[in-house]
Structure 1
């Protein structure tokens, strides 16, 4: 088996969405899934530990803060991410803990403090998935008349990240001597205010919590719009995305890395981690049959019609004639999931589709590239990885039996091939991901960061 330090390795995240997210609304009918899985801490602990046994890099908790009766089951009733991840932090030892939090409806000070707390509780395993909130109705839950528009959301997000990262540097790493003989608890020269006064936030600081063993929480981002890609290229350490083939994934990766380079960053420090739906069978044909059966179990026309409203601000499409041309509704998406809505409208207009045909196309069965025997799945994952299109995958933990097969059958093959770790080499999420330790901006020396960069370059 190849030594982990000798070669680049596949990174894995586990997406825990309990009773079922978008496009998977009837997943909870699987008898192996508790009906209250999305609020059952024991369920999360079980699958976080299973992912940790397989030496995954992280678990990933999605979130949003606006629902309708048509929202997926997991969205209707789920635990708040940072509370959940704090519980997972004491129930696991090594796996990274990544939670989604919006920059549109949080202040930098409070959010920075909560993630810094998770980072200390987990001893350096925290990550923040930065979102700007696509559900326009979220504004009504925070006393606002309307959601921020796209440019405002992304300018606010950029400033929010910069303020949060500055707050995480409030204390240099040696700020607390805690010397009982001299009765010196804090070296005040190593405590720093940030005195930020920007377009959206005024924050004096300092943050009242020290840095963690990994320096700062790892930043992830998932926006696919031009603004979202710019944000990811400028700030993200990891990018959550979607891709149906190697060609599109490689184009996306090259675009993100070019944006990172343009922002003055090392593009190799931005990891591309698309979602992967994995199905394992005793034969390739059996796996494909399982995949189709799961799709048919989890989908219906009526559910897809209701769910179509989400990118358009949860617009009610049931009011239209299903066999009339797709309605003129793009304006409803301007403060919602605009990029997704634009894509839907574009193919509807290009092919002159009716509303019924749009729903059927969106809910149609789309085979995943990662379906087959354990060997077939391992081959496909390795092929995508070695092409340079991805740095790893976020695996959807959907049907329990399938995730166990992936852990028990596919992961050992990848470990034997030396493309996935057999043991954790580090203790922090940054170490798992091969990311440099961020030197404190106020410290006199940046030797640690330089050494980490050189070491990472040598490994790659």
Structure 2
């Protein structure tokens, strides 16, 4: 019996996830806007046979934001360029349903899918930074529940537009002069609460049918939307027990949505530190921790807690007993508060804990120990794979590819070569059937 395969993505965030990564001696401090830097990272990841690279995005910042948020390349500008210098690895970009329109998103990702020959993915977010509203002529950020209500309709419209052209609709017969079969071209004619979209889309289906849908919300609204629409769920889980509970809950929701559990891959974020010994791995971590500017660390924590003002407290105090509710990121806020309470962390200790992985699982050890920890979550039904969050790039990614990937390959839980050409193929996901083809066969 073959072993379950581990899906692995690389979550790219500037020069690394750690807020002080740009200060690391091995890191190019201007990598945030350097295409050659991203090309090197993408090619290292592809040489490691990883499933995809994953780009986050945000539409606002302040002067104390994570450096990767101060200046950053637009994902849907960067990824088509990376598609030209790679041939197999998947390309996932983040785009907000709150500050975009469905037709634009459908067209952009369908175009990336064609350019990359079936390797694109859309990470669906609803925007939890409240200040984004002011950059889009809005005085107030949409309420959390309303954002997810809009997102649900938004995704449905995008998927409908992606079905505009049935397979084999484009005949392109030069002799007869017939370019397409009009019976296989469809207008969506969507009329809903938030959108009125006629269609059709001026982009056809790719070799993987539709771009892969990634969803990163772990709130009730987020997991419900993901269970109904997503192919991949990116989540933050701190412990094996929490990850198992999340995995079980979401797979149950997937089944209740009328889908098979294997149709959705759950990929928690994980930040690995690799050393010849576990102590050496932890030393690498502490070297980065020592580079944190306290004011930036404190602001970073405040932002994740919904903008609470922590300046009146000592850094050696614990979090206040009462933390106001927020209209921002619900699930991550709860995870960070729970972490602080569970481990009795001071404010200083807490911002240091989230400075790199932002509440995601951080692991330390030799290459064998890292492989053990990853595999343990897979066999314990806590994950289908992982979104790897390297603290400084490209060095820590190269270490993982050179030292951990061969161990996973030897154990038979990760591919030695790509056997498929599309991202859906890498992830073991089926090609979605066009809604119009389905209607004809009923």
Higher mean displacement: 196-205 or 282-291: 282-291
1:229 and 2:226 equivalent?
no
Residue equivalent to 2:73: 79
Q: Within 5 Å, give how 1:14-413 maps onto structure 2.
A: 14-21=10-17, 24-297=18-291, 299-314=292-307, 316-318=309-311, 326=320, 330-331=324-325, 333=326, 335-342=327-334, 357-364=346-353, 370-399=363-392, 400-413=394-407
**Is the contact between residue 244 and residue 368 of structure 1 (CA under 8 Å) also seen in structure 2?**
yes
Distance 1:367 1:13, change over 3 A: closer
3-state secondary structure, aligned to 1:177: strand
Alpha-carbon distance change, 370 to 294 in structure 1, aligned in 2, over 3 angstroms: same
Aligned to 2:408: 414
Contact 1:28 1:34 in 2 (8 A): yes
For residue 452 of structure 1, what is the aligned residue in structure 2? Answer: none
SS of 1:178's partner is: strand
The offset of 1:445, in angstroms, is: 8.2
RMSD, matched Cα? 2.4
Gaps of 5+ in 1: 448-460
Secondary structure of the corresponding residue to residue 318 of structure 1:
coil
SS in 2 for 1:101: strand
Aligned counterparts of 1:357 and 1:430: Cα–Cα separation in 2? 43
- TM (norm. structure 1) is 0.88
Q: In 1, are the aligned partners of 2:7 and 2:385 still within 8 Å (CA)?
A: yes
Q: State the shift of 1:344 in Å.
A: 5.5
CA–CA distance in 1 between the matches of 2:337 and 2:285?
28
Distance 1:238 1:306 in 2: 31
Q: How many residues matched? A: 434
Assess if the C-alpha contact under 8 Å between 2:269 and 2:361 holds in 1. no
When normalised by structure 2's length, the TM-score is: 0.92
User: Deviation at 1:83?
Assistant: 0.6
Superposed displacement of residue 369, structure 1: 5.7
Shift in CA distance, 309/416, structure 1 to aligned 2, threshold 3 Å: same
Look up the SS of the partner of 2:283 in the other structure: helix
Alpha-carbon offset, residue 441 of structure 1: 1.1
Contiguous gaps of at least 5 residues in structure 2: none
